[in-house]
A and B are shown apart, each in its own frame.
Chain A
Amino acid sequence: MSTGYQIIVCGSIVPDPLQTLEPVVGPGGPALKNEMMLPAVLDPWAGHALYEAAHLAKNTPGSKVWLVSLGPKAKLQQVMMTVAQKVPFELVALDGPAGGFTDSCEVAAALAEAIQAVPTLDRSRLLVFGGWESASRGAGATLQMVGERLGILDQFQGVDRLTVGNDGWLTILERIEGGKHQVSTCAGPPAVLGWATGHLPEPPNNPQVGMANMRTIMPSLQRAKAVRVGAEGVTFARVSLPSQRRETRVVKDRSADEIAREIVAWMRQ
Chain B
Amino acid sequence: METLRTLPGDDLRQILWRFADRFDLQMLVQSARSVARGPVARLVAEGARNSHEWTEQKAQLLKAFDESGITTLYMDPDQGGYVEGPKNLALALVAFELAWVDGGSATCSLAGNLALAPIHERGTPEQRDTYMHRAVPPQPGEDRTIWRGAFCLTEPLPYVGVETGLLSGKVRIAEWEEGKEPILQVEKRGRFITNMGFARFVTAAVDSGDDRIKGSCMVILEETDPGLFDRGVPTRKLVHQLSSTRDPVFNLRVPASRLIGGYTVTNGVIVPRYSHGEVIEAVFRRTRVTVGLMTSAKLLSAVEPVIRYQRGRFRGGETITPGSPRYELGLQQKEDVLHRLVDVWATGEAGASLGFAAARLFDELDPLERRKDEIFAAQGIGGGSAQTKALRRLQKEALELLALSTSPAGARDENRYEALQSDPLVQFLVLDSQANVLCPACKLWNTGHGATMMREAVSLMGGYGITEDCPGFLGHKWMDAQLEATYEGPEAVQRRQLTVTMTNELFLEQLRMWIAEMREVGFRRPGTGACTLASAMEAWLWTLTHLQGATDADGAKLYHGTRQGVTFPLADALCWLLASRYQILDVLEVEAKGPANPVVAEGLAGLVNFLTDLCHIQAARAAGEAGRICAELVHGYNRHPAWDGEGCGAGCHLGELDPLDWIIPAAGGSVGAPSEGAAPGKPHPAKAGPCVRFDGLEQFVRLRLKLDGCLTGARLAKDRAATALTTVMIPEALDYPA
Q: Which residues of A contact B (CB under 8 A)?
A: 16, 18-20, 22, 33-34, 36-39, 72-75, 78, 81-82, 84-85, 204-208, 210-211, 214, 218, 245, 248, 250
Contacts and interface: CB of A to CB of B under 8 A. Distances in A.
Given A18-B732, A78-B11, A207 B6 contact: no
A82 B732 contact: no
Given A37-B5, A84-B27, A214-B23, A20 B34 contact: no
Interface in B1-59: 5-6, 9-11, 23-24, 26-31, 34-35
Contacts of A245: 322
Given A19-B731, A37-B599, A81 B5 contact: no
B316 interface: yes
Nearest to B5: A34
A248 B315 CA distance: 10
A78 B23 CA distance: 9
Contacts of A210: 24, 27, 31
Contacts of A34: 5-6, 602-603, 729
22 contacts: A16-B731, A18-B731, A20-B729, A20-B730, A36-B599, A37-B5, A37-B603, A38-B9, A38-B729, A39-B9, A39-B10, A78-B11, A81-B10, A81-B26, A204-B34, A204-B68, A207-B82, A208-B69, A208-B82, A211-B82, A214-B27, A250-B316
Contacts of B24: 207, 210-211, 214
Nearest to A79: B30
Best-buried of A84, A207, A250 by chain B (most CB within 10 Å): A207
B731 A82 contact: no
A98 to B, nearest CB: 13
Interface of B: 5-6, 9-11, 23-24, 26-31, 34-35, 64, 67-69, 72-73, 82, 316, 322, 597-599, 602-603, 729-735
A224 B322 CA distance: 45
B139 to A, nearest CB: 9
A246 to B, nearest CB: 10
A22 B6 CA distance: 13
A201 B12 CA distance: 30
Contacts of B322: 245
Given A20-B730, A37-B9, A205 B602 contact: no
B34 A205 contact: yes
Given A20-B729, A74-B599, A81 B9 contact: no
Per CB-CB distance, the 6 closest pairs between chain A and chain B, nearest first, are: A207-B69, A205-B31, A82-B30, A36-B602, A210-B27, A81-B26
A131 B10 CA distance: 26
Contacts of A207: 24, 27-28, 31, 68-69, 73, 82
B81 to A, nearest CB: 9
A74 B597 contact: yes
A85 B67 CA distance: 11
A33 B322 CA distance: 21
Contacts of A250: 316
A33 B729 contact: yes
A34 B604 CA distance: 12
Given A37-B9, A205-B67, 13 more contacts: A16-B731, A16-B735, A18-B733, A20-B732, A38-B6, A74-B11, A78-B599, A81-B26, A85-B30, A205-B35, A206-B68, A207-B68, A208-B72
B733 to A, nearest CB: 5
A82 B34 contact: yes
B598 A72 contact: yes
A74 B604 CA distance: 15
A85 B598 CA distance: 24
Contact of B599 (A75, A206, A211): A75
Contacts of A206: 31, 67-69
Nearest to B730: A20
A22 B29 CA distance: 28
Nearest to B64: A204
B94 to A, nearest CB: 11
Given A18-B732, A34-B6, A81-B29, A248 B316 contact: yes
Contacts of A18: 731-735
A84 B731 CA distance: 25
A207 B597 CA distance: 24
Contacts of B82: 207-208, 211
Contacts of A20: 729-732
Contact of B30 (A16, A22, A81, A248): A81
Contacts of A72: 598-599
Given A85-B27, A207-B82, A211-B27, A19 B11 contact: no
A37 B67 CA distance: 30
Contact of A218 (B23, B34, B733): B23
Nearest to B34: A205
Contacts of B729: 19-20, 22, 33-34, 38
A233 to B, nearest CB: 28
Contact of B68 (A75, A78, A205, A214): A205
A81 B97 CA distance: 15
Contacts of B29: 81
A84 to B, nearest CB: 7
Given A204-B68, A208-B82, A36 B598 contact: yes
Contacts of B34: 82, 204-205
Contacts of A19: 729, 731-732
B30 A205 contact: yes
B602 to A, nearest CB: 4
Contacts of B735: 16, 18
A204 B735 CA distance: 17
By CB atoms of chain B within 10 A, which of A18, A82, A85, A204 has the most? A204
Contacts of A38: 6, 9, 729
A73 B599 CA distance: 10
Contacts of A214: 23-24, 27
Nearest to A18: B731
B64 to A, nearest CB: 8
Between B11, B64, B734, the greatest number of chain A beta carbons within 10 A of the residue's beta carbon is seen for B11
A38 B603 CA distance: 11
A85 B72 CA distance: 15
A81 B599 CA distance: 15
A23 to B, nearest CB: 13
A205 B69 contact: yes
Contact of B27 (A36, A37, A75, A81): A81
Nearest to B6: A37
Contacts of A37: 5-6, 9, 599, 602-603
Nearest to A214: B23
Contacts of B734: 18
A111 to B, nearest CB: 22
A4 B67 CA distance: 28
A75 B28 CA distance: 17
A37 B10 CA distance: 10
Nearest to A73: B598
A85 B29 CA distance: 11
Nearest to B315: A248
B29 to A, nearest CB: 7
B732 A74 contact: no
Contacts of B603: 34, 36-37
A18 B67 CA distance: 26
Nearest to B84: A211
A73 B597 CA distance: 10
A244 to B, nearest CB: 12
A42 to B, nearest CB: 12
Nearest to A36: B602
A39 B13 CA distance: 12
Contacts of A39: 9-10
Nearest to A217: B23
Contacts of B5: 34, 37
Contacts of A73: 598
A147 B92 CA distance: 47
A245 B23 CA distance: 42
A208 B70 CA distance: 11
Question: Which of B10, B73, B316, B729 has the largest count of A CB atoms less than 10 A from its CB?
Answer: B729
